[in-house]
Structure 1
Amino acid sequence: MLAARALAEFADVVTVVERDVLPAGPERRKNLPQARHAHLLWSGGARAVEDLVPGTTELLLAAGAHRLAVTTDMVALSPKGWYRRWPESHYMILCSRDLLDATVRAQVLDDDRITLLERTEAVGLDSRDGTGGTDGTLAVTGVRLRGVDGEERTLTADLVVDATGRASRTPQWLGALGLPGPARRTVDSGLAYASRIYRAPKRARQGYPVVNVLADQRAGVPGRAGVLLPIEGGQWLVTLSGTTGGEPSAADDDFVRFAREELRHPILGELLAHAEPLTDVGFTRTTANRRHYYERLPAWPENLTVLGDALAAYNPIYGHGMSVAAQSALALREVIRRQGWGSPGLARRIQKAVAGPVNAAWDLATGQDVFYPGATRNGPTLRERIVAAYVDRLLHTAMGNGRIARRLTDVTSLQRGGHVLLAPSVLLAAAIGPLKPPLAGPPLTTGEREAAGGPDQ
């Protein structure tokens, strides 16, 4: 939807091809099963959405979404200890994925230039040989579609955008056109997710912080983690996760036990003991980090670009997928504005531009997951080991240094690139270490503890 909105500035007609029948409001749909699990928009993504679809944040907040400050409204246990709740540096938008999708979708599809083809699947690319393609390659001229009746037809297009997610078949489609496939890297920690929605205790339904217990990927044991996200309707969306050998159960009656007994701290289990479960447990293993390096291919067809999870998919625990997709759609628009619609080599320039936000999130996710046994064929690279050691030192420093905590959140919120962590002042602070002693326990206020103490609190 965001890519469609970006393209509507330049094209007479933008057609969205969709396998599902899209609901009218914030409801679940078949081909978005991961919507049951933790989602958030970091400020870097929220600002990109707002740029593309102005008014989205206001509509979300009016519908019950929460805007929480980073790190003021966070209670988080990192591998190096409890984060302090420093003054706001950035923010998060928290709501269900269904509400976010419905809010964006309604505004995008209200544009007369954008049309929707539902219950339709893209099955291949159409092309013409050797005319205008970069480096002598071909140009894509449209996409072959199959409707619910099984009939196939071709939709011609000046630009085709693959935003089909993890199920993308662009590598196979490129092969069918006689082009080489991209290099690919997969980092799979074997992570399993179990999620459930709870009704929060009465006094904890507004203004409650995110509560996050992170895994320690270098502890030599399976990584177990959990996060509680306040969403609309006075509800908590809680996701528990575990890598190979430490997976949470899909059973409803084991959810709170896992949160209390298997995580590095029992705080989530203690909070859930007084909350009312509203759904059964949703379970998934579709959590591998996977990256296609299309921007490195020596030849790239004109009029084709790949965005979102079709380009790179991440372990959802880091919450970067939606924000990267939004920033990529914004990059798509900016490249076309700069280069001009239909200019030679436009698709290749777009593909290189969207690699920027993708690479930032990829380094954040895989820099942690790569250390789990079996996550990659050959283990962490030398670069990954060096970067991880430095990030560990920064995390340790951030426990007691608010300026370094802010620099880290500059990067994790996707507001700035990782280069800011190499500034001389940051290097010096990392060498010195934290300026305050570590916290002894979770930094919940007395009021927050009391508010979550029971269903009537």
Structure 2
Amino acid sequence: MSTRVSARVSTRAVVVGGSLAGMLAAAAVRDHVDSVEIIEAHGLPEGAEARPGVPQAAHFHVLLSGGANAIEELLPGTVGELLSAGANRVPMTTNMLIYSPEGWYRRWKRDSHHLITASRDLTDSVVRGKVLKDPRVSVRPHTKVTALLGSSRRVTGVRLRAADGTETDLTADLVIDASGKAARTPRWLAELGIPAPAEDRIDSGIAYASRVYRAPVPTLNWPVISVQADPRRGEPGRTGGIVPIEDGRWHVSLIGTPGAQPSREAAEFEPYARTLRHPVIADLLSHAEPLTDVAVTHSTANRRYYYERLKSWPEGLVALGDSVAAFNPVYGHGMSVAALGAVALRTQLTSLGLTNGLSRKAQRAIARPVELAWSLAVGQDIHYGTTKGRSAGTPDRLLQRYVSRLSHTATGSYHVATAMTEVLTLQSPGTALLRPSVLAAAAIGPLRPQLDGPTFTVGERKLLAEAGISLPGIAQ
């Protein structure tokens, strides 16, 4: 009598795109398949260099603590490597100078939530290096995905086109679209006979102008500085920020709505900073050395595909990151939403494995952090008079009034400031702002008087003085 032993079939996941989202997707699935192949249209740099196809890297990036925690869950040790390479861990609001529409936030000395600040190139490099150390993960560069294989019921792989035009088919048990804003998934789904998903596009017309400076003071533990526009004033909005990054540099972005959009002319960069609601950024830049030209982008629209609402969704396909939703970068959500989406995918894989029902459940789980970030971004952008795609209705205006009241209270209330950063860093849903204790605090208002300007610490003032910098109007 002979015993027949069936050969085990090897399993493969294909990730479309070698972006941060693509790398995190590979990290999410690598323990659940035998191999992961990342298909990248461009090449990938060896270190912390610019990656083709990422124009937004010219503008400052922050990794919210919700996203940083998600990346650490997927790739333990990543945050430590970033900090060792010169990134900053910035406690909110302890190490931030924030001029909100309602006033200056206090720098509470209790650490609740935080940001990780670094150049996008460094963040990409550290994450990419950790993912590609895994022998199960490989990259096929200079290759494009031109179509999905399979049917409306199941995706079985992708069609590839190499740099020389050669086309081949690559089978996969799971295809993950992490190809970013240029994702072609709606078209690929249509080719399989699946109707287009509902889509939202909310565009406030904001433009970014950014450049990198050599900081005149040490950047380790230097605060993030943000002077925000006030959409309630009925005039074009101007926002600016200084983010400390590695190698003793500041990444500076100036942001304006139509009628106040910044220029790409270097000679106009610092004068534009002087037009913000407070001159602190302009005053600091007058003592810093510019290291780059000015980079400008007008690609700041919020765009979202509602894949989770489709009645028909093929097994074997998942989309995450900017392929699902791209946000106005002023809110700093993109990297963190991608990381939370990758964690959601891994959670579903751990529960279900590569079984029927995985893809739809994963897509719905990925939509949850997207929904929070979408509500935060769109909830702000719709109040600019220049916004296209949607205008503020009565419920939106009522919500804005409540959020404005919270922000006003947060200028003098640690409890409310912490509740707001808990949501803004994507660590709790928006309903956290409706807790009885938060509602009661908002009704009472700020417990301390408003600050009349940015408050630098004794140590920061000493560094400024040692650099020969005297800033007018600085609270002591």
TM range (shorter): over 0.9
Task: Report the alpha carbon displacement of residue 433 of structure 1 after superposing the two structures with TM.
Answer: 1.3
Q: Does 1:102 align with 2:117?
A: no
**Map of 2:113 onto structure 1:** 90
8 A Cα contact 1:204 1:448, kept in partner = no
SS of the aligned residue for 2:233 comes to: coil
**Map of 1:304 onto structure 2:** 317
**Map of 2:198 onto structure 1:** 183
Give deviations 1:32-65, integer Å, cap 9, x for gaps.
1110101011111111111111111111111111
**Map of 2:185 onto structure 1:** 170
**Map of 2:142 onto structure 1:** 119
SS of the aligned residue for 1:149 comes to: coil
Task: Report the alpha carbon displacement of residue 450 of structure 1 after superposing the two structures with TM.
Answer: 4.8
| Distance in 2, Cα, partners of 1:68 & 1:367 | 25
**Map of 1:451 onto structure 2:** 463
**Map of 2:18 onto structure 1:** none
| Distance in 1, Cα, partners of 2:146 & 2:394 | 40
8 A Cα contact 1:193 1:241, kept in partner = yes
**Map of 1:134 onto structure 2:** none
TM-score by length of 1: 0.95
8 A Cα contact 2:316 2:359, kept in partner = yes
8 A Cα contact 1:22 1:29, kept in partner = yes
Aligned-pair identity (%): 52
Task: Report the alpha carbon displacement of residue 339 of structure 1 after superposing the two structures with TM.
Answer: 1.6
**Map of 2:92 onto structure 1:** 70
**Map of 1:131 onto structure 2:** none
| Distance in 1, Cα, partners of 2:231 & 2:185 | 33
SS of the aligned residue for 1:416 comes to: coil
Q: Does 1:427 align with 2:449?
A: no
8 A Cα contact 1:70 1:409, kept in partner = yes
| Distance in 1, Cα, partners of 2:307 & 2:335 | 20
| Distance in 2, Cα, partners of 1:278 & 1:446 | 28
| Distance in 2, Cα, partners of 1:226 & 1:422 | 30
| Distance in 2, Cα, partners of 1:378 & 1:32 | 28
RMSD of aligned residue pairs (Cα, Å): 1.3
Task: Report the alpha carbon displacement of residue 385 of structure 1 after superposing the two structures with TM.
Answer: 2.5
8 A Cα contact 2:210 2:254, kept in partner = yes
Partner AA of 1:339 in structure 2: L
SS of the aligned residue for 1:229 comes to: strand
Partner AA of 2:287 in structure 1: H
| Distance in 2, Cα, partners of 1:287 & 1:425 | 35
Q: 1:182-221 alignment to 2 at 5 Å?
A: 182-201=197-216, 203-221=217-235
Which structure 2 segments of 5+ residues have no match? 1-22, 470-476
SS of the aligned residue for 2:308 comes to: helix
| Distance in 1, Cα, partners of 2:174 & 2:181 | 21
Give deviations 1:251-270, integer Å, cap 9, x for gaps.
1111111111x211111000
| Distance in 2, Cα, partners of 1:305 & 1:380 | 32
8 A Cα contact 2:258 2:386, kept in partner = no
Task: Report the alpha carbon displacement of residue 178 of structure 1 after superposing the two structures with TM.
Answer: 1.2
| Distance in 2, Cα, partners of 1:185 & 1:435 | 40
SS of the aligned residue for 1:8 comes to: helix
Q: 1:12-161 alignment to 2 at 5 Å?
A: 12-86=34-108, 87-128=110-151, 137-161=152-176
8 A Cα contact 1:271 1:452, kept in partner = no
8 A Cα contact 1:200 1:452, kept in partner = no
| Distance in 2, Cα, partners of 1:197 & 1:222 | 25
Task: Report the alpha carbon displacement of residue 374 of structure 1 after superposing the two structures with TM.
Answer: 3.5
SS of the aligned residue for 1:338 comes to: helix
Task: Report the alpha carbon displacement of residue 142 of structure 1 after superposing the two structures with TM.
Answer: 0.8
| Distance in 1, Cα, partners of 2:30 & 2:444 | 51
**Map of 2:403 onto structure 1:** 391
| Distance in 1, Cα, partners of 2:390 & 2:407 | 26
8 A Cα contact 2:175 2:317, kept in partner = yes
| Distance in 1, Cα, partners of 2:198 & 2:396 | 18
**Map of 1:281 onto structure 2:** 294
TM-score by length of 2: 0.91
Distance 1:335 1:383, change over 3 A: farther
Deviates more, 1:423-432 or 1:230-239: 423-432
SS of the aligned residue for 1:2 comes to: helix
| Distance in 1, Cα, partners of 2:200 & 2:396 | 14
Task: Report the alpha carbon displacement of residue 455 of structure 1 after superposing the two structures with TM.
Answer: 5.3
Partner AA of 1:95 in structure 2: A
Give deviations 1:113-164, integer Å, cap 9, x for gaps.
1110000111111113xxxxxxxx5211111111100111111111111101
**Map of 1:439 onto structure 2:** 451
